[in-house]
Amino acid sequence: MNRRKRSTSSPRMSADQRRTSILKSTIACISKFGFWGFTIRDVAEAEGVTEAGLLYYFKSKEELLVKTLEYADSINAEAIAKRLGVSEETDISDGLGYHGNFSLKTLTTATVEANVSRPQLVSLYIVLQGESLEDNHPAHQFFLDREQKVLHEYAYVAKRDGLENPDRIALQTLSAMDGLQLRWLTGGKTMDFVDEWKRFINIIIPD
C-alpha cells in the first residue's frame, strides 16, 4: 500500500457514508500495516481528508480500531446470515447460531464461504489477533471476549445437534478454522479453503 496515495472518494458524502468509508479504509490499512504500524494519517490520505477531518468522526486511533472491529464483525455476520437464509430483520448481534435450526457443520461452512469472499477481513482479524496477545494492545479484551462468544455459540449449536462433549467440539472447530484461515492466507489463497474445511469438519463431526 502506498502511504502517500490519495483517494478519489467523493467529498460530498453524508456523515454516515464518510464514517463507513473511513472504516473500510482502516480495514485496508490495518490489514497491511497492523495496529501499531498504521497511522491516522494513512487513513486520512486514503480518504482524501485531513487528519483533523478524520478525527472529527473518530476521536482517537484506539476508538477507530474498536469501531472498525465492530463494523467488520457486523458485515461479516450479515454475509453469513444471508447464506443461511436468516431474515435481515433478525437481531443477530448475539450470534447466528441462536437464530435457526442449522447444524454446526452448516453454520461453519457458511462462515468459511463468507470469509473466502472477504479475504481482507480475514487478514484484519489474523493480524490483530496476533498483535493482541499482548495485554497492552487496545484490542486485547475484544478478542478475548469474541473468542468466548464464538465458543459459546458453537457449543450451543453442537449441543442442539445432539453431539457429545459440545464444549470440546466447539474448541476443536474454532481452532481448526483459525488454523486453516492462516494457512489459506499465507499460502496466497491458492488452497481451496471451503473444500478443506468440509474435510476438517467431517473429521471433527463424523456423519
CA distance 40 to 103: 42
Residue 31 has a pLDDT of 92
Residue 10, burial from CB neighbour count under 10 angstroms (0-12, 13-18, 19+): exposed
pLDDT of residue 12: 78
The pLDDT, as a whole number, for residue 144 is 96
The whole-angstrom separation of Cα 155 and Cα 151 is 6
pLDDT value, residue 13: 87
182 CA to centre of own chain: 13
pLDDT at 192: 97
* Three-state secondary structure of 26-57: HHHHHHHHHHHHCCHHHHHHHHCCCHHHHHHH
From first to last of the 207 residues of the chain, give the pLDDT tens digit: 455 455 545 567 899 999 999 999 999 999 999 999 999 999 999 999 999 999 999 999 999 999 999 999 999 999 999 999 998 889 998 999 999 899 999 999 999 999 999 999 999 999 999 999 999 999 999 999 999 999 999 999 999 999 999 999 999 999 999 999 999 999 989 999 999 999 999 999 998
Per-residue pLDDT, 52? 96
For position 1, what pLDDT does the model report?
46
pLDDT for 109 equals 98
The CATH number of 1-59 is which of 1.10.10.60, 3.50.50.60, 3.40.50.300, 1.20.1250.20? 1.10.10.60
Cα torsion at 162, 163, 165, 171 (round to 10°)?
-120
User: Where are the chain's structural domains?
Assistant: 1-59, 69-204
